[in-house]
Amino acid sequence: METKPQTNKKLEKVADLIGDIRIAMMTTVDEQDNLVSRPMAALQVDEDGTIWFFTQRTSPKVDQIDNNNNRVNLSFADVGDASYVSISGTAEELDDRAKVDELWNPQAKAWFPKGKDDPELILLKVNTHMAEYWSASSSTMVRLVQQATAAVTGNPPKMGENEKVYN
Segment 70-87, tens digit of pLDDT: 999 999 999 988 899 999
pTM: 0.85
Domain ranges of the chain: 2-166
In angstroms, the first-to-last Cα distance of the chain is 20
Q: How far apart are CA 139 and CA 75, in angstroms?
A: 22
Q: Which of 55, 74, 64, 59 is nearest to 15 (CA)?
A: 74
Exposure of 154 by Cβ count < 10 A (0-12 exposed, 13-18 middle, 19+ buried)? exposed
Across-strand partners of 56?
Answer: 121
> What percentage of the chain reaches a pLDDT higher than 90?
74
- Determine phi and psi for 128, rounding to 5 degrees: -75, 125
Segment 42-71, tens digit of pLDDT: 999 999 999 999 999 999 999 999 988 999
Topology, domain 2-166: Pnp Oxidase; Chain A (2.30.110)
Within 10 angstroms of residue 10's Cβ, the number of other Cβ atoms is 14
Burial 53-85 (b: 16+ CB within 10 A, else e): bbbeeeeebbebbeebebebbbbbbeeeebbbb
Segment 77-116, tens digit of pLDDT: 999 888 999 999 999 999 999 999 999 999 999 999 999 9
3-state secondary structure (DSSP) of residue 152: helix
